[in-house]
A and B are shown apart, each in its own frame.
Chain A
Amino acid sequence: MSGRLVILLLALVVLPLGLIGWLGRLFWLREADEWQLKQKSQALLELQEWQQNLEHSLQAMEVKSHEWLTSAGMNEAALRALSSKQPLIRAAFHVEKSGKLRTPDSGRPDLLSDDDRDFLQGTNTIWSRGTMLGATQQDETAGRLQVRTGAAQGWHTWYHQDGPHWLYWRRHADESITGFEIERMAFLSRLIGGLGAGGVAGCVRLVSADGEILMQQGAFHPETNMPALVTLACAFPMQHWHWQFFASPASAQAPAVGAYLLGFGGLAALFASVGLLLCFSYQRDLREASHRVSFVNQVSHELKTPLTNIRLYLDLARESAGVEANSMLDVVEEETSRLSRMIHNVLTFARHEKRSLGLHPVAGDLAAVVLRAVEIWRPLLARKNIAIIMEDTLVQSVCFDADAVEQILGNMLSNVEKYATSATQVVISLRVHVDHAELSLRDDGPGVSKQDQPRVFEAFYRSRNDLTEGVSGTGLGLSIARALAVAQRGSLEMVEMAHGACFVLSLPLAQTNSNVISHA
């Protein structure tokens, strides 16, 4: 019984739950994918905005730089004054058209300050390579060096020692160039300062080529090794830097998971509770039924003794009674045996439930037993205008338990008496079919309706129709009959008929040596 319960539970609860969970996960994953995609594109937009701000800052600086260089002209003292006055300028320079440095002049080492020497050392690669300022930027990134002598001003960036450095330069009418090296920290500080403090939901970082965080903004502070959601490279002249966007894990899943947990979780909970409810009520019914059976069982046991006494004294009464009284006693006897049958049925059912029918099939004359039982029932059915017709063609010995066969037959004839009141005859035939004996019982009553047919053998099942109205019964008769048949290695089946009901009891033919069969 518990095995069936588990299967029921599986079918009703676990399977739907699993299905719901799987579907939910599928939906959620799809949603999460979409959401992440959306988040990524939003983050990219955000980074692009930061990059734009960075470029604005840079443009503002370009305007200033241009002004400074214009006002200083090619005057050496004015150029030097730039580097001592402007926070953004580390060192100014003037280079002739030929590429020779005029300021600071490396040809006169005695006139160089320490800062000049630093500048010359730092920019050495530029002058020694003869890099043309103005033949730079886009052209270099496009992979081919194109001399664009037309460019009048711009940035130049190069790597030296600890990172990128920047020059801003301007070309004069005589093709010579003045410019200056940017004070890097001041440059960075201004750039960052120009970005302002946007309200960032995640975390925006500006990172240098060697992974140093130049700035970070946002409410979320990612762990050290957390990968960035989106990266965006900065444009020239900050091409060594890139932007990173980190989404906080909290905002990355919350909306989707919440809704899905609520939706699918609720559905799952509903299924689970319905399943559990069904399971509990089924168990309760089972418990109640078994209580009922055991109660009836006990009562039936108690009834057996008085019933035996009644039959004993009924026989004694017959001897001293007159004819009239005897006919009344006939009725008493009939009713008594009906009562006895019922009790017998109940007790058999109880034993069947405990798997201890304790039958002893032996080889014998089935026809004799059937005939004896039929003779007992003949007057009862006759009173209801039902005739019993015997078609006895059986000669072989059959292996059976006499009491059980009597009980089966009794239950079936009792059914005819109770339910087939409109029938006129019951035909009982005995014959051998292949390797077993068949006892068929056919009436011409109303029969069993199609929808009830599969369930007539179930215990406590009674068809609900006008037939059963007002008729007493336990609903055990056929169920016990089939159990008894099976216990004798036989079977009890209902055969479909155009009208009327037909039940066939099959029993094995006796072998040379018969075994004692006990239903374990």
Chain B
Amino acid sequence: MKTHTVLFLLCLIILLDFPALGWSGDPIQIRVDLAHPRIPAQKQYKTYLKVGLVGLDQKEKPARQPVNVAIVLDRSGSMSGPKIEHARQAAVEALQRLGGDDIISVVTFDDGAESVVPATKLTNQADVVAAIQRITPRGRTALFAGLSRAADELRKFKTPQMVNRIVLLSDGIANVGPASADEMGRYGVSLAKESISVTTLGLGLDYNEKLLAQLAQHSDGNHAFIKEPGDLASVFTEEFGDILSVVAQEMRVKIQCPEGVRPVRVLGRDASIRGGSVEVAMNQLRAGQEKYVLLEVDVPAGEVSTTQLIGNVEVIYRRNDESTPKQVLASMKATRVNDDKEVESSASTPILVEVAKQIGVERQMIAVKLSDEGKTKEAEKLFLENAGTLQLLGQKYRSPELYIQGNANYTLGSNAGSESWQAYRNAGQTMANATLTQNGSSNTTSNVTALNGSQAVNVPQLNSTITLPSAPAGLGIHLGQQPAAIIMSLPQSSSGTIILKPSGGR
């Protein structure tokens, strides 16, 4: 606690040195928010604390750090034909975006794994391209072996400054080696500890969606469902764009709640909650992205007009172009009031929208699980219920995103158990995964279209193109909804949003 205070003071001093946006050189912005800055006094109240890390789009781009990427291609027999052709082409096109200092490796797997291109600096692109073009389909699907090999390749040249990413493409069920979704999720957790994230691309309708989704989610990577091989190139290119614009890594959010305040759970992310202390790790953050921790807390009742400390927040992250991590501290407080209306009017809509989204995804995934277990009727009921709630909240908060999510659930519900269910299911899960990891700005575009496309036929009145009466223009990304209110107060502010700046490293 003593060091915290010291750092806190340091924080203040730096802030005074650089008034206003004086620290704009840092590409990362930390935001701490409370869903309800005013809470009702006489009862225990449930609210949400949000700690967001925002990767800022910088005008003057600093020299990019080299990236360390392993492309892992499924070359099992099922990939033959246009699938492997497009996969090769997509990989080659994605390579064009890399520079001579970047490290690339290409691993394929069939009955075993093979490093087609062992980790190497990309000084001679032609050699790598030639090796990729030689990949032909054969054999079975040893996904785990391919993954292990790729991790080995990444480790060869891994430095803290590098963005380490495995991009895995598979179209089938892993049938050699461990293949349980839970195990693969655990492997994802383990890889994330080494700053390796795995982006999983599922091609067609027959891949093991659960496995790939778990792997991506727990390693904080992206996951995308690609229905047509022809879409591979754009997905690969987007993914590489994502890799190249990473601004921070090894992010860790710690929240210490005081006695009486009970942290219940963190929505959508792996978290360790031990008594009053909460710890969440996140792997990589790219420019133009916000990753956040949404902590559900139970706040005890108290006297009117007293302030309640909700939590002391510590954020540690490492800028991609620096080797030492930075630390940011803040504490968040709420004020008890008597008037429920005041509670509501002071509530932060963007956070409530995020909460609704996360809970919506949670319920969606439960419904998908029900459907996978063959309980179509129950799944359908839950989807439609979820759709209703999301749309209602979408209207209430004037959020097109919630609306779209509601529509998606409606589409899923009305297609549960149908012939084309698998395609809807995978598209829906991809969206869900994007919401969970907050990686969802790009890869899911085609999937949103996939889910909305049919809904024009089924439920025209729910078409997402309907514009809400007073939806703010440009809404849709996680940040920027309350531009005026963002930079509002100093860290010790008892309510509202806190924008923080890092200490140390300068």
CB of A212, distance to nearest CB on chain B (Å) = 7
Q: Nearest CB to that of B138 among chain A residues?
A: A221
Contact indicator A184/B183 (Cβ below 8 Å) = yes
Query: Is A84 part of the contact surface with B, judged by Cβ < 8 Å?
Result: yes
Query: Is A174 part of the contact surface with B, judged by Cβ < 8 Å?
Result: no
Q: Which of A88, A213, A218, A221 has the most CB of B within 10 A?
A: A213
CB of A241, distance to nearest CB on chain B (Å) = 12
Query: Is A197 part of the contact surface with B, judged by Cβ < 8 Å?
Result: yes
Q: Nearest CB to that of A216 among chain B residues?
A: B112
- Surface stretch bound by B, among A33-41, A108-116, A409-417, A437-445: A108-116
With contacts A84-B272, A189-B147 taken as known, whether A183 is within 8 angstroms of B190 at the C-beta atoms is: yes
Q: For B279, give its contact among A84, A87, A193 (CB under 8 Å).
A: A84
CB of B255, distance to nearest CB on chain A (Å) = 13
Q: A residues within 8 A CB of B184?
A: 185
Q: For B272, give its contact among A113, A162, A197 (CB under 8 Å).
A: A113
Contact indicator B275/A110 (Cβ below 8 Å) = yes
Q: For A221, give its contact among B140, B177, B191 (CB under 8 Å).
A: B140
A216 to B415, CA, bound (A): 40
Query: Is A90 part of the contact surface with B, judged by Cβ < 8 Å?
Result: yes
A114 to B110, CA, bound (A): 36
Q: B residues within 8 A CB of A110?
A: 275
Contact with B along A183-207 (1 / 0, CB 8 A): 1111011001100010000010000
A228 to B274, CA, bound (A): 49
With contacts A192-B148, A197-B114, A221-B139 taken as known, whether A88 is within 8 angstroms of B180 at the C-beta atoms is: no
Query: Is A4 part of the contact surface with B, judged by Cβ < 8 Å?
Result: no
Q: Which of B152, B178, B186, B191 has the most CB of A within 10 A?
A: B178
Contact indicator B178/A212 (Cβ below 8 Å) = yes
Contact indicator B272/A114 (Cβ below 8 Å) = yes
Q: B residues within 8 A CB of A217?
A: 112
With contacts A185-B184, A189-B151 taken as known, whether A87 is within 8 angstroms of B190 at the C-beta atoms is: yes
Contact indicator A113/B274 (Cβ below 8 Å) = yes
Contact indicator B148/A111 (Cβ below 8 Å) = no
With contacts A87-B194, A216-B112 taken as known, whether A188 is within 8 angstroms of B178 at the C-beta atoms is: yes
Q: B residues within 8 A CB of A468?
A: none
A185 to B181, CA, bound (A): 12
CB of B194, distance to nearest CB on chain A (Å) = 5
Query: Is B165 part of the contact surface with A, judged by Cβ < 8 Å?
Result: no
Q: A residues within 8 A CB of B139?
A: 221
Q: B residues within 8 A CB of A215?
A: 112, 142, 145, 177
Contact indicator A88/B190 (Cβ below 8 Å) = yes
Query: Is A144 part of the contact surface with B, judged by Cβ < 8 Å?
Result: no
Contact indicator B279/A185 (Cβ below 8 Å) = no
Contact indicator B148/A84 (Cβ below 8 Å) = no
Q: For A189, give its contact among B111, B148, B193 (CB under 8 Å).
A: B148
Query: Is B144 part of the contact surface with A, judged by Cβ < 8 Å?
Result: yes
Contact with A along B103-118 (1 / 0, CB 8 A): 0000000111011000
A217 to B112, CA, bound (A): 6
Query: Is A86 part of the contact surface with B, judged by Cβ < 8 Å?
Result: yes
Query: Is A145 part of the contact surface with B, judged by Cβ < 8 Å?
Result: no
Query: Is A85 part of the contact surface with B, judged by Cβ < 8 Å?
Result: yes
Q: For B144, give its contact among A86, A87, A189, A221 (CB under 8 Å).
A: A189
Q: Nearest CB to that of A108 among chain B residues?
A: B275
Contact indicator A87/B191 (Cβ below 8 Å) = yes
Contact indicator A113/B273 (Cβ below 8 Å) = yes
A110 to B274, CA, bound (A): 7
Query: Is A214 part of the contact surface with B, judged by Cβ < 8 Å?
Result: yes
Q: For A185, give its contact among B111, B186, B274 (CB under 8 Å).
A: B186
Contact indicator A214/B177 (Cβ below 8 Å) = yes
Q: Nearest CB to that of A213 among chain B residues?
A: B176
How many of B's residues come within 8 Å of A, CB to CB? 34
Q: B residues within 8 A CB of A183?
A: 186-187, 189-190
A189 to B273, CA, bound (A): 28
A116 to B111, CA, bound (A): 37
Contact indicator B275/A111 (Cβ below 8 Å) = yes
CB of B281, distance to nearest CB on chain A (Å) = 7
Query: Is B149 part of the contact surface with A, judged by Cβ < 8 Å?
Result: yes
Contact indicator B114/A214 (Cβ below 8 Å) = no
A203 to B111, CA, bound (A): 10
For chain A residues 477-504, which have a beta carbon within 8 Å of chain B?
A: none
Contact with A along B265-281 (1 / 0, CB 8 A): 00000001111000101
Q: B residues within 8 A CB of A113?
A: 272-274
Q: Nearest CB to that of B186 among chain A residues?
A: A185
CB of A247, distance to nearest CB on chain B (Å) = 16
Q: A residues within 8 A CB of B147?
A: 189
Contact with B along A96-135 (1 / 0, CB 8 A): 0000000000000011111110000000000000000000
For chain B residues 156-195, which have a beta carbon within 8 Å of chain A?
A: 176-178, 180, 183-184, 186-187, 189-191, 193-194
A166 to B10, CA, bound (A): 45
CB of B237, distance to nearest CB on chain A (Å) = 29
A114 to B278, CA, bound (A): 11
Q: Which of A86, A113, A203, A218 has the most CB of B within 10 A?
A: A113
Contact indicator B186/A90 (Cβ below 8 Å) = yes
Contact with B along A148-164 (1 / 0, CB 8 A): 00000000000000100
Q: B residues within 8 A CB of A216?
A: 111-112, 142, 145, 176-177
Q: B residues within 8 A CB of A112?
A: 274
Contact indicator B152/A162 (Cβ below 8 Å) = no
Q: Nearest CB to that of A188 among chain B residues?
A: B178
CB of A81, distance to nearest CB on chain B (Å) = 10
Contact indicator B177/A213 (Cβ below 8 Å) = yes
CB of B78, distance to nearest CB on chain A (Å) = 15
Contact with A along B26-58 (1 / 0, CB 8 A): 000000000000000000000000000000000
Q: B residues within 8 A CB of A192?
A: 145, 148
Q: Nearest CB to that of B189 among chain A residues?
A: A183
Contact indicator B176/A185 (Cβ below 8 Å) = no
Q: A residues within 8 A CB of B279?
A: 84
Q: B residues within 8 A CB of A189?
A: 144, 147-148, 151, 187
Contact with A along B222-242 (1 / 0, CB 8 A): 000000000000000000000
| 28 pairs of residues in contact across A and B, judged by CB atoms under 8 Å | A84-B193, A84-B272, A88-B190, A90-B186, A112-B274, A113-B272, A113-B273, A113-B274, A184-B186, A185-B144, A185-B178, A185-B183, A185-B187, A185-B190, A186-B191, A188-B148, A192-B148, A197-B115, A212-B178, A213-B142, A213-B176, A214-B177, A214-B178, A215-B142, A215-B177, A216-B111, A216-B176, A216-B177
The 3 A-B pairs at the shortest CB distance, nearest first, are namely: A185-B187, A186-B190, A189-B148
Residues of B within 8 A of A (CB): 110-112, 114-115, 139-140, 142, 144-145, 147-149, 151-152, 176-178, 180, 183-184, 186-187, 189-191, 193-194, 272-275, 279, 281
